[in-house]
């Protein structure tokens, strides 16, 4: 039976993905900062599950994740869904710093743990949730956009290492557009997907071992437009 850890499973995409993977036969490990929400989720899952309170912005996250992997006696899949972000045109450093600490330092720390586990195991699948926002700098949330660009580039770097070392490891970059979660409030509802729909499409991408997937699929059109749009036009949006 396959085993997966979803890092950041207390709400949104991570929570729904835990449900989808559990229903698909996975034994899952779920992590997050709010223990009571993890316990509630565990009761809702179809299959066996382990929980671990963990905050990826803290140094203890590395040891916490390793402990969970050991408790589960190894894993086949790790999904990093934990992240934070806010829109504030005044750019208060406290919020910007929190975004960088979580989405950059925290992401890299737990991705490193998972990647080394898969190297030692000889196989595995690492999935990171980045964002369409990572394609271009965002005026209302520059740290968020930059942090998601970091996620995508970090995953690409791991994929480069895999190709050079001939490892049997898959690395998938998931780039969602708007998903109806608490973090997306105030960002508009343009092409917004439910967490359930997003999780279903992510699960399909995992099964197909894709290197990259837009969620939902229609966001590839926006991604293409953002990549080719002249700066002068983009800055007037």
Residue 214 a catalytic site member = no
- Would you give the end-to-end CA distance of the chain in angstroms? 49
In angstroms, the Cα distances linking 16 to 21, 76, 119, 193, 204 are: 9, 19, 28, 13, 14
188 near 132, Cβ under 8 Å?
no
Phi then psi dihedrals of residue 221, to 5 deg: -70, -45
The rounded Cα 116 to chain-centroid distance in angstroms is: 18
Please name the residue that has the structure tokens 């698909």: 24
With residues binned 3-state (H G I as helix, E B as strand, rest as coil), the percentages for the chain, rounded to 5, are: 50, 20, 30
Of 26, 144, 154, 214, the active-site residue reads 144
Which two three-digit tokens encode residue 168? 């049997």
6 near 51, Cβ under 8 Å?
no
Which two three-digit tokens encode residue 74? 């190894």
**Which residues have C-beta within 8 Å of that of residue 33, sequence separation ≥ 6?**
10, 53, 54, 55
Which two three-digit tokens encode residue 59? 């140094």
Q: Which residues pair with 171 in a beta bridge?
A: 126
Residue numbers annotated as active site: 144
């Amino acid at each position: 039976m396959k085993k997966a850890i979803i890092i950041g499973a207390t709400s949104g995409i991570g929570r729904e993905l835990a449900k989808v993977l559990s229903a698909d036969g996975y034994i899952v490990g779920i992590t997050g900062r709010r223990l009571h929400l993890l316990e509630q989720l565990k009761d809702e899952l179809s299959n066996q599950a382990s929980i671990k309170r963990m905050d990826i912005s803290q140094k203890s996250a590395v040891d916490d994740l390793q402990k969970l992997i050991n408790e589960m006696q190894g894993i086949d899949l790790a999904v990093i869904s934990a992240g934070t972000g806010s829109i504030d045109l005044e750019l208060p450093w406290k919020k910007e710093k929190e975004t960088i600490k979580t989405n950059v330092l925290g992401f890299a720390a737990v991705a490193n743990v998972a990647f080394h586990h898969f190297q030692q195991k000889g196989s595995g699948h690492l999935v990171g949730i980045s964002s369409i926002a990572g394609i271009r700098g965002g005026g209302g949330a520059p740290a968020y956009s930059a942090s998601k660009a970091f996620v995508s580039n970090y995953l690409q770097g791991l994929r480069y290492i895999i190709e050079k070392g001939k490892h049997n490891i898959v690395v998938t970059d998931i780039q969602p557009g708007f998903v109806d979660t608490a973090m997306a409030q105030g960002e508009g509802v343009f092409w917004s997907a439910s967490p359930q729909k997003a999780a279903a499409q992510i699960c399909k991408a995992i099964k197909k071992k894709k290197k990259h997937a837009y969620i939902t699929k229609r966001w590839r059109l926006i991604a293409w437009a953002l990549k080719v749009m002249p700066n002068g036009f983009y800055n007037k949006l």
